[in-house]
Amino acid sequence: MTAEAIMTVAVLAGVAMLAGILLAAMRTRRARNRAYLSPDGYQEVCVTINGKYRPNTLEVRQGIPVRIRFLRQENNPCSERVVFSAFGIDRRLPAFRETLLEFVPSAAGTFLFTCQLGMYRGKLVVTPQRAKRGPTKSRSRGKADEG
Ligand SMILES: [Cu+2]
């Protein structure tokens, strides 16, 4: 190999490595906010409370039970309660403890969750359930099912 070829290979390898690192970082960032599915069928997400909600945007799917693990790392009275008014939830969160909040996000959309006086704010993004489709789609060919 010429020196030039070796150089090209090295640059390409470097670029590929950087791309890999970037992709991994993006995936991690996305996974942080989006709930993961627990073995018992809940969409789980953890929220740390210490001066604010972190993360403050939670992504869940409509219609699947949600379990939010609130870890309140402070005793500031401000954060003693968490309120999801759209879902009729108002829960006390003991200081320095983990509190599990479970509910079914019955409606899709973006909903605010706050402390009792609204100083701490977070967003619950509920993505709509996919529209149910008949089995015709996979069975039929071309435009046969449109007529
Ligand atoms: Cu508050």
Give the CATH number, domain containing residue 66.
2.60.40.420
Q: Is residue 138 part of a domain?
A: no
142 occurs within a structural domain: no
User: For the chain, how many structural domains are there in total?
Assistant: 1
Ligand 1 centroid – CA 115 distance (Å): 5
pTM of the model: 0.68
Tell me if 88 is assigned to some domain. Answer: yes
pLDDT tens digits, the chain, 147 residues: what are they?
Answer: 677 877 777 778 777 777 776 666 555 554 457 888 999 999 999 999 999 999 999 999 999 999 999 999 999 999 999 999 999 999 999 999 999 999 999 999 999 999 999 999 999 999 998 766 555 444 444 444 444
3-state helix, strand, coil in the chain (%, to 5): 30, 35, 35
- Evaluate whether residue 90 is within a structural domain: yes
Assigned domain for 11 exists: no
Range of the domain at 49: 33-127
Neighbours of ion ligand 1 (CB under 5 A): 78, 115, 117, 119
Instruction: Say if residues 51 and 122 touch (Cβ distance below 8 Å).
Output: no
